[in-house]
Structure 1
């Protein structure tokens, strides 16, 4: 590590302050039984998720690359992985968070050095290098030939898969003859990687599913389990679950994690697929998940950009929204969870299910009334409104909340979004618009002065739904439409969009209130 002591480390910064301790940690990584611990300590100091790329990171990068190239260093694959993670983070945050300008030139030099590790004797190092080179960015033209050359001779199947995914990422997942040809590769890993790599151009993801991909294996670390998880996800996400019901049913008890550190299991994918296919063999597993007896289903969905493919599950409310035909079987579990004495993160998406199921969710009215009392007013009111007249036992509770503004028992006042949902629920349940129109009109009145909030669009839509009984809102809506200013809460392009939406809703409300 020539030149290590010539760098003014005391003038550079890492996550804990001055970087004076970096040289000693780099030397500890270079040799000795404490290399792994030293590397993790160094990673914690140099790399920070989501906030910045510090000045010491750029200075340390060439030395980390040198260590990764040294066959006597015992943690080379991990070094390359850490460099890759930092490169990925810099890509994500460079336009909104501090990134040391020296980082980009340091990473550019590192990329050209790391290419040589594609031919390393250690398969772990080669895999980490493939991952790192996926972030080559402007140096793609220099990296692609080396990736393709390595693929032609690479014996390790997992590394071959990673090479395909890296090529796909560097070519922006565009249609490619190379990837198209690999969809017929005899190795299911390569077929899957090629399918994901060309994900936006593949019309039938089911073409990569075969018995090998779904083969039961015992080792969590076996690459075939990764293949299996991706294959099952493709079956379900690609809309082919109905054609593979029996094969999915055989995986309902599969407790293999989808990836390291994830609570979700391959069996969760099978439950999802069979549920949306209307196959009642999924009900037992689904009930287990609703009552937290087996695994942790994500309450809310994750989102990815169009170029990414993640083995994700729908959020709990998204899963249940399409299962209104099963409400009779699922409601007991939903009600049991809503009856818990504390408000948990799983209860809110469970309240969204009755909101989608409508009158079929009427047996859950007692639990929804309870949720009104313990603070989940908005979601409980939305569900009660969707149920309609069958939610009559909730009327007194809804009226009390509106008339006392939620503070009758010393609780906090209602928020506007809660007022709006409670008012709409009261109208939907009773057909009596007096309290509802009073509240909704008060919410939209600031529009007449040019003050707009997102909740006002919801209130305007509900006033339209009430129709002629909502005549009290006419002056405010007309005044808002007459204003020569945008009815928007946010700026930029959203100001134009919000203004159009609010004005369209106001016009529709006026037409329906006074036909």
Structure 2
């Protein structure tokens, strides 16, 4: 360890952290010894943000370790917090040590420094404070596999003493985990302590891999139902918390996860553990929505705060549309929440709409919500007149941002009644409220009035490139005159860098009328950026009508990635299935696991779109 008096022996100005020069690190470390709690809090916060930043360490991180170790021993009331900072700094994936770059990395230097000072931190293992002992065990765990044999023998003896005799069961469980970091200690499934049994079952599940033996699932269900108070403050290396680690482990075995989630929910869903685990099942596995929604329905009465209840309703809303026929009990519960006051009404109404319950319209016409209106436009086409009136009212009242975007998007599936909203769309475009969405919808509206022509002409002069392009395409849709659109894209395509693909994706309505743009589009077929290549291939097909140049580009990109999904959809629209893609398509179509994660704020899960696109291509001859 090194005391603050030795800080000036380090050439901090030659070292860096997340924000540049590390010259501020000595003052932050000195601040840890101040009597002012606010000053110490700020110093700890700054150190977490600069010498460690989002999982990365820097050249200044390792030199700070001996000083932080000294502070952990000598700063009153901050020992656990500073020990956790040391554990966080040294956190690494064990496989990283096999990399040829590891010995020269900042992470390796941090671990080496922590190994050197560890003997002086070992007294923390017998500290009178439970949080300090737990944090000290995290410090040991993060470098356990790197300790020399002699030092490990000394460490192991102390850890075994904790495991055998600590008065706090959670500390005993932590000690068991540490003992298994550098070997395979016996796993006491019959321990008198539920915390120890849970740790043993978790370690055994890690060893065995899925599917997990029934006896382990029983222990995880029975002993994991109640969260450990404060556990989020003591994450294990490589995991957010013991709870999140267990959730991730269980999610690898959907049958085990469903059984455990059901038990946790029956036990009261303490800490929303069961409902959170149920959510993870739907994010990892396909076609488990009916079972998960049954669990979430059972979990609703157990949500102890508004935030948990809203979250559970959000998850139900995401998946209820996947049920062929949502049950009456679920729809009745959603209806009750939707018509009540408070924060739960909005997610419950959206879920009720997606469940296709007719009562959703009754609530929606009394309490409008943009996302629910958008969903209702698809779920209840027979209510197009009423929904159009709601949309017009909300837009007239000044809806803006995401709400206005959703309301305008709802017009497209409503058909002829949507044309009644033309005045509101014109006003949105004029006042730049959801202007891009308004310009697009005006183009789909099919009627060119003097007022529409005026606002589109003004929009084509906007400094917003997306608005200019969308307005130009809308003008072409309404007039059939490609000249303004061609001029706009001739300006935008060469100048665009990152968002080139956004402009290319708008060219479809022009079709062959965009032929003069081919000299700009063709070079993009070999662009470095994948999205540019994908949208250039689509545009080339739209313009030429020939799939010959587009299909090879799209086939190379196709797969379970966001751009790969876009390529699959484009191939399906073209109607070509390259033979070499069929094995990958079968994997996308038949995988029981999800291959794509959900996109935030998206109504449709991208993995569902991936599966549908793969199926579509497989059915092509």
Smaller-chain TM-score bracket: 0.5 to 0.7
The more displaced of 160-169 and 108-117 is 108-117
Runs of 5+ unmatched residues, structure 1 = 89-99, 257-264, 292-296, 298-314, 511-515
C-alpha distance in structure 2 between counterparts of 1:437 and 1:230, whole Å = 48
1:322-337 to 2 correspondences below 5 Å: 322=378, 325=381, 326-337=383-394
Report the alpha carbon displacement of residue 506 of structure 1 after superposing the two structures with TM. Answer: 1.5
Please report how far the alpha carbon of residue 255 of structure 1 lies from its aligned counterpart in structure 2 after TM superposition.
7.7
Paired position in structure 2 for 1:500: 537
Cα distance, 1:383 vs structure 2? 1.4
> Does the 8 Å CA contact 2:408/2:438 hold for their aligned counterparts?
yes
Three-state SS of the structure 2 residue aligned to 1:278 is coil
Question: Partner of 2:190 in structure 1?
Answer: none
Q: Distance in 2 between matches of 1:400 and 1:123?
A: 71
CA contact (8 A) 1:134 1:166 kept: no
Matches within 5 A, 1:383-422: 383-388=441-446, 392=447, 395-401=449-455, 406=459, 412-413=461-462, 417-422=466-471
Structure 1 CA distance for aligned equivalents of residues 537 and 89 of structure 2: 42
| Structure 1 position 439 matched with structure 2 position 484 | yes
Q: Summarize deviations over 1:361-392 as a string: whole Å, max 9, x none.
A: 2232111111222235432121122333xxx4
2: CA distance, partners of 1:386 / 1:79: 61
1:347 aligned partner: 404
Q: Distance in 2 between matches of 1:282 and 1:62?
A: 62
Say whether the 8 Å CA contact 2:469–2:489 is kept in structure 1.
no
Paired position in structure 2 for 1:308: none
Quote the offset at 1:502 in angstroms.
Answer: 2.4
Asked whether the 8 Å contact 2:352–2:360 carries over to 1, the reply is yes
2:181 equivalent to 1:142: yes
Partner of 2:77: 73
Using the alignment, how far apart are the partners of 1:248 and 1:67 within structure 2?
Answer: 53
Contact kept? 1:205, 1:238, Cα under 8 Å? yes
- Checking the alignment, whether the CA contact within 8 Å between 2:58 and 2:106 is kept in structure 1 is no
How many angstroms apart in 2 are the aligned matches of 1:352 and 1:486? Answer: 33
Give structure 2 stretches of 5+ with no counterpart. 93-103, 147-176, 185-195, 203-218, 233-240, 548-621
Which of 356, 369, 373 is 1:278 aligned to? Answer: 356
Q: 1:78 to 1:369 in 2, by over 3 A?
A: farther
Q: How many residues get paired?
A: 435
**Matching of residues 53-452 of structure 1 within 5 Å:** 55-60=59-64, 73=77, 76=80, 80=84, 101-103=105-107, 105-106=109-110, 142=181, 148-149=199-200, 157-159=226-228, 163-169=242-248, 174-175=252-253, 179=257, 182-183=260-261, 185-186=263-264, 187=267, 188=269, 189-196=272-279, 198=281, 199-201=283-285, 203-207=287-291, 209=295, 213-215=299-301, 226=308, 228-229=309-310, 231-239=312-320, 242-243=326-327, 244-252=330-338, 265-282=343-360, 319=375, 322=378, 325=381, 326-339=383-396, 344=401, 346-376=403-433, 377-388=435-446, 392=447, 395-401=449-455, 406=459, 412-413=461-462, 417-426=466-475, 428-429=477-478, 432-433=479-480, 436-443=481-488
8 Å CA contact 1:46–1:57 kept in 2: the answer is: no
In the other structure, the counterpart of 1:302 is: none
Aligned partners of 1:37 and 1:127: how far apart in 2?
Answer: 25
Structure 2 counterparts to residues 466-485 of structure 1, below 5 A:
470=513, 474=515, 476=516, 480=519
Give the alignment's TM-score, normalised by structure 1: 0.61
More helix per residue: 2
2:6 is aligned to: 6
Give, in whole Å, the separation in 2 of the partners of 1:110 and 1:401.
65
Over 3 Å counting, the alpha-carbon distance change for 1:495 and 1:51 in structure 2 is: same
Q: How has the CA–CA distance of structure 1 residues 126 and 349 changed in structure 2, closer, same or farther, with 3 Å as cutoff?
A: farther
In 1: Cα distance, 2:346 partner to 2:326 partner: 16
CA gap of 1:63–1:439, structure 2 versus 1, over 3 A, is: same
Query: Tell me, what secondary structure is at the counterpart of 1:27?
Result: coil
Distance 1:288 1:75 in 2: 56
Partner of 1:22: 28
SS where residue 158 of structure 1 aligns?
Answer: coil
What RMSD over aligned residues (CA atoms) do the two structures have, in Å?
A: 5.7
Residues in 2 aligned to 1:205 and 1:144: alpha-carbon distance in whole angstroms: 39
Secondary structure of the residue aligned to 1:149 is helix
Query: Which whole-Å deviations, capped at 9, do the CAs of 1:195-232 have from their partners, x for residues lacking one?
Result: 45554236424535166621156556xxxx74x55543
Find the partner of 1:461 among 508, 513, 524.
508
* CA offset digits 1:459-495 (Å, max 9, x no partner): 541123xx8xx5xx55x26x649x9x53359524445
How many angstroms apart in 1 are the aligned matches of 2:459 and 2:279?
51
Partner of 1:91: none
Q: What is the CA distance between 1:36 and its match in structure 2? A: 5.7
CA contact (8 A) 1:182 1:191 kept: yes
Kindly indicate whether residue 89 of structure 2 is the aligned counterpart of residue 44 of structure 1.
no
Answer whether contact 1:317 1:353 (CA < 8 A) is retained. Answer: yes
Q: 2:535 and 2:486 mapped to 1: Cα distance?
A: 19
Contact 2:84 2:139 in 1 (8 A): yes
Q: Distance in 1 between matches of 2:415 and 2:140?
A: 51
